[in-house]
Structure 1
Amino acid sequence: MRQEHPLLEVKDLSVTFKMDSGDVDAVKGLSFTLEKGQTLALVGESGSGKSVSSSAVMGLLPPNARLPDESVIRFQGQEVMSMPEKELRALRGDRIAMIFQEPMTSLNPFMKVGEQVAEAICLHRKVSKSDAMKETLALFNKVQLPEPEKRIDKYPHEFSGGQLQRIMIAMALANKPDILIADEPTTALDVTVQAEVLRLIKDIQAEMGMAILFITHDLGVVRHFADDVVVMCKGEKVETGTVSEVFDHPKHDYTKMLLDAEPKPQPRSREEKDDLLIVDDAKVRYVLNKDFFGRPTDFVDAVKGISLRIKQGQTVGIVGESGSGKSTLGRAIMQMLPYSGSVFFNGENIEKLDKQARFDLKRDMQMVFQDPYGSLSPRMTISEIITEPLTVFTNLNKKERMERARKALAEVRLDPTSVNRYPHEFSGGQRQRIAIARALILEPKFILLDEPTSALDRSVQLTVLELLQDIQKKRNITYLFISHDLSVVRAISDHVIVMQHGEVVEQGTPEKIFDAPEMDYTKRLIDACMLIDDVA
């Protein structure tokens, strides 16, 4: 039987941010309802207004946000926007809970995880700390956190990303909320962990009967997780309906574009080329503890004797779950950490080069990191960031460096006149293109790309992948592409290496790896992309 009032009603929601440069309309007249037990997905690219909308529901908008009088947010018929702050705080975390995208920034690094969840319980209910800790342990068991009795007294940095997300889910469920808002809860997780977390949320929803407002740009997740969907573009609702209606019969061009934004394999050259990079029996060991005399007593083998060959102009993709050693291997190749074994570049053993030759080699070996916002200095203009390598490796004057910077920006399809702007003035996809421009400025022969598209929208991913492929064809650059996104690796790679626990478990052409995998681990990775089908 239908309730008299929807659990949540959002009507004509508009949010405007007052900025020094002028007003920014982030949300424009958004309306939707959410019923008990329903899963509603808000989808759209970065900047579409979906996260701002969820923040408005939680009453967490910043002070410079303005909402017009006609905007309405009601929880069980009660007006949220006019609630006194005390009542609003009681509503948050009790009746409406939220899971954020990045759990490490949401948890207090100075508090044990068990104490943080117990604090959320004590804040909303009159229970003793000991009882709250007992409830916390039960919640950790519910979200299937490994060894909860031992790990309840650990700190956030001692957990993996998937485990931290489980702790955040436990905290959100602590007071049995009526609504769970999940804001991109699986974006940065491995496909296997993503499937586990989504299944966990779905199982708990079935048990508790709560409603879920699911915010994401991953339409593959939405299709098998949500009941209904609202598609947002530039702050406006452009399409809404059941998942089957929107996915099978999209009406708006923007929805069609989102659905078509799936990386597709490109024709690959079969021309035989010379080896540019050879890795022979590379091993990396991290020392965890030392005795009184400084001798290692505890260590972990992150990379266990890996060998590989990458030909000039080829792209080799490395896939595996977090902790498989793929990024550690990449950093060893780039001479960023100690390793044993040999790395040959262009026929020369890097270890046997003299200091000057090793320094000069950095010109030919460049790297693009996962998070461009973290790897680009916020205090430097784009021209300063891009031309910095030129000041180290060339004798070009300032005018010549600026000209090279403009050409590099044009090559990555950015406006050359934007050289004097700062990183925060660009979107995530644009910042990643700036990072690529910086790597290209020295005209290298090899670029290591470490998760360069993992945090980007699908449509932006396509733009970046097409850009990388165009540049590769033009310059004959060699790529080592590290990612946990199998569709991206398949689209860009000539050869794929699958890693687990620091070892290569399988390798071959993309067709062999993805269409006819031999190892159980590879099959599990590929199946995890479709495990989401089982969530519903």
Structure 2
Amino acid sequence: MSEKQPLLEVNDLWVKFKMDTGDVEAVKGLSFTLEKGQTLALVGESGSGKSVSSSAIMGLLPPNGSIPEKSSIKFLGDEVLTMSEKALRALRGDRIAMIFQEPMTSLNPFMPVGEQVAEAVIIHRKVSKKEAMAEALSLFHKVKLPEPERRINKYPHEFSGGQLQRIMIAMALANKPDILIADEPTTALDVTVQAEVLKLIKDIQAEMGMAILFITHDLGVVRHFADDVVVMRHGEKVETGTVEEVFTQPKHEYTKMLLDAEPKPQQRDQSEKDDLLVVNDAKVRYVLNKNFFGKPTDFVDAVKGISLRIKQGQTVGIVGESGSGKSTLGRAIMQMLPYTGDVSFAGANLETLGKKERFNIKRDMQMVFQDPYGSLSPRMTIGEIIAEPLTVFTDLDKKQRLDKARKALAEVRLDPLSVNRYPHEFSGGQRQRIAIARALILEPKFILLDEPTSALDRSVQLTVLELLDDIQKRRNITYLFISHDLSVVRAISDHVIVMQHGEVVEEGEPEQIFERPEKEYTKRLIDACMLIDDIAVA
């Protein structure tokens, strides 16, 4: 560390939230410093207090949050915690800027993106709207937003996730901040887009000399992006040091556990089995516009003639970037949207089945969605949620259904006595287990898993993958596993399909796909993981 005054000094930070059930201490005595040009990573699992700490620095705690007088947050020697609201507003977005995890919830959906960035310029600088829009356009060029002149007046919903994150970066850089706080800025992005965004942030840091406080649960990113690391757990700092020190000689058991949480390929069953699911020449077309007579005039082919076979007890993984058609294909297989082609399950063509037969076969085909919080009703207890399919497909009474729900909870390693609790009372990993229990309650032969681990911490991902593998071995269940996370797909799959623009680019066993890819697109996906390694050198 230099002898100059740090940009940011956090000393003995405590943050408490007043809840109906009592006070919760989210941050407990956190201390660290951040200097000009330095990249410091705050790492830890969900609930570790890292995002709460950044909110405290920005003065953005909710009304029920409080910080005691003994805590201190200083920016260039000035105490932030005693600043007036006016002084805080001047600091935020000007000297300290922030990029949030989910840009769609941070941008105004009713305002063109150019105007939103220009607004950030106008608030902190005495410039005209014309000058501010010119500055916004310049920033869009800097963050390499495609066709900025044409798209400056577009709305947020007209951009992809990676493009929205570039717009958020442009807004954060609008006033050339001294510190950029990046709170999980790449968690929901494809691996190729993630690498591009991280390189962009690193390049701009080198050009502007700003400091970065990088908040993430992804240690793979930290290793090649940060200079120093603070590891947090349950609101406390458990370890700190340079990236080299923490990653090569971790001292705390929790740090060692995080470093060991990378999914590893398992020994797969190589025995010959019968086909359970056969898809032949599946096509899905979305109509975008119709003429006056209702005839389609504009459409997009989301799935273009895909064929695949999945054997009983096998796991087939589908990888590809957003927009590749992998989730659309999954929904077509589950009969959730119109398609052409043939989908056969256990030897029966689903299109030719009668209404009653199609209803009965749904018992054997279940699905787990990406966001369990969005797919679990907040008004129902988890016992009611898990047992709900039994009310449709069985004649069991309420007590019998609840007994089966308890057994399903035990199978996914949750407390059977928690049947009367609600989804909001569980962590993200626990909610995903509840969603898996709901899919298992009917004892299906096949489960479609659509990005089931993408929003989870690495250690929680590992637990969920081990759980799925254990259940598959005991029940001989077949999985179709859709994800953009290559390490997760490699760990769980017997066979891997790579999709791009609605087509199969390459397929084969995991070892062949990941060690000896033949197609350029597959190589690019795999190289994108390695590209993060080069960011530190760039």
Q: TM-score range by the shorter chain?
A: over 0.9
Q: Could you say which residue in structure 1 is the equivalent of 2:501?
A: 501
Q: Could you say which residue in structure 2 is the equivalent of 1:524?
A: 524
User: In structure 2, the residue corresponding to 1:93 is in which secondary structure?
Assistant: coil
State whether structure 2 residue 375 is matched by structure 1 residue 369.
no
User: In structure 1, the residue corresponding to 2:351 is in which secondary structure?
Assistant: helix
Q: Could you say which residue in structure 2 is the equivalent of 1:47?
A: 47
User: In structure 1, the residue corresponding to 2:31 is in which secondary structure?
Assistant: strand
Cα distance in structure 2, aligned partners of 1:172 and 1:46: 24
**1:394-409 alignment runs, 5 A limit:** 394-409=394-409
Q: Could you say which residue in structure 2 is the equivalent of 1:378?
A: 378
One-letter amino acid of the structure 2 residue matched with residue 500 of structure 1: Q
User: In structure 2, the residue corresponding to 1:145 is in which secondary structure?
Assistant: coil
Q: Could you say which residue in structure 2 is the equivalent of 1:89?
A: 89
**1:51-70 alignment runs, 5 A limit:** 51-70=51-70
**1:65-464 alignment runs, 5 A limit:** 65-464=65-464
1:62-84 superposed Cα distances (whole Å, 9 cap, x missing partner): 11112111100000000000000
One-letter amino acid of the structure 1 residue matched with residue 460 of structure 2: V
Cα distance in structure 1, aligned partners of 2:70 and 2:358: 65
Cα distance in structure 2, aligned partners of 1:2 and 1:426: 44
One-letter amino acid of the structure 2 residue matched with residue 19 of structure 1: M
How far does residue 2 in structure 1 lie from its aligned partner after superposition?
A: 4.4
* CA-based RMSD: 0.8
One-letter amino acid of the structure 1 residue matched with residue 119 of structure 2: E
How far does residue 52 in structure 1 lie from its aligned partner after superposition?
A: 0.4
1:280-301 superposed Cα distances (whole Å, 9 cap, x missing partner): 0000111111111111111111
After TM superposition, the score normalised by the length of structure 1 is 0.99
How far does residue 463 in structure 1 lie from its aligned partner after superposition?
A: 0.4
How far does residue 87 in structure 1 lie from its aligned partner after superposition?
A: 0.6
Q: Could you say which residue in structure 1 is the equivalent of 2:23?
A: 23
Cα distance in structure 2, aligned partners of 1:234 and 1:412: 24
1:318-365 superposed Cα distances (whole Å, 9 cap, x missing partner): 000001000000000001111000000000000000111111111111
How far does residue 125 in structure 1 lie from its aligned partner after superposition?
A: 1.0
How far does residue 3 in structure 1 lie from its aligned partner after superposition?
A: 6.2
Cα distance in structure 2, aligned partners of 1:368 and 1:149: 41
User: In structure 2, the residue corresponding to 1:351 is in which secondary structure?
Assistant: coil
Q: Could you say which residue in structure 1 is the equivalent of 2:9?
A: 9
1:254-313 superposed Cα distances (whole Å, 9 cap, x missing partner): 000000001011111111000000000000111111111111111111100000000000
State whether structure 2 residue 516 is matched by structure 1 residue 513.
no
One-letter amino acid of the structure 1 residue matched with residue 112 of structure 2: K
How far does residue 23 in structure 1 lie from its aligned partner after superposition?
A: 1.1
How far does residue 8 in structure 1 lie from its aligned partner after superposition?
A: 0.3
Cα distance in structure 1, aligned partners of 2:482 and 2:227: 34
User: In structure 2, the residue corresponding to 1:409 is in which secondary structure?
Assistant: helix
User: In structure 2, the residue corresponding to 1:465 is in which secondary structure?
Assistant: helix
One-letter amino acid of the structure 2 residue matched with residue 478 of structure 1: T
Cα distance in structure 1, aligned partners of 2:149 and 2:292: 31
Q: Which runs of 5+ in 2 are unaligned?
A: none
How far does residue 206 in structure 1 lie from its aligned partner after superposition?
A: 0.5
1:365-398 superposed Cα distances (whole Å, 9 cap, x missing partner): 1100001111111111101111111111111000
Segment drifting more, 63-72 vs 175-184: 63-72
How far does residue 37 in structure 1 lie from its aligned partner after superposition?
A: 0.4
Cα distance in structure 2, aligned partners of 1:110 and 1:420: 40
Q: Which runs of 5+ in 1 are unaligned?
A: none
User: In structure 1, the residue corresponding to 2:108 is in which secondary structure?
Assistant: coil
Cα distance in structure 1, aligned partners of 2:108 and 2:380: 30
Cα distance in structure 2, aligned partners of 1:273 and 1:147: 51
Cα distance in structure 2, aligned partners of 1:388 and 1:129: 55
Cα distance in structure 2, aligned partners of 1:143 and 1:515: 33
1:463-504 superposed Cα distances (whole Å, 9 cap, x missing partner): 000000000011110000000000000000000000011000
Cα distance in structure 2, aligned partners of 1:414 and 1:270: 31
Cα distance in structure 2, aligned partners of 1:368 and 1:489: 16
User: In structure 2, the residue corresponding to 1:279 is in which secondary structure?
Assistant: strand
1:400-442 superposed Cα distances (whole Å, 9 cap, x missing partner): 0000010000000001111111111000000000000010111
One-letter amino acid of the structure 1 residue matched with residue 98 of structure 2: M
How far does residue 4 in structure 1 lie from its aligned partner after superposition?
A: 4.0
One-letter amino acid of the structure 1 residue matched with residue 511 of structure 2: E
One-letter amino acid of the structure 2 residue matched with residue 69 of structure 1: E
Cα distance in structure 1, aligned partners of 2:96 and 2:362: 51
Cα distance in structure 2, aligned partners of 1:377 and 1:113: 33
Cα distance in structure 2, aligned partners of 1:320 and 1:238: 37
What is the percent sequence identity of the aligned residues?
A: 85
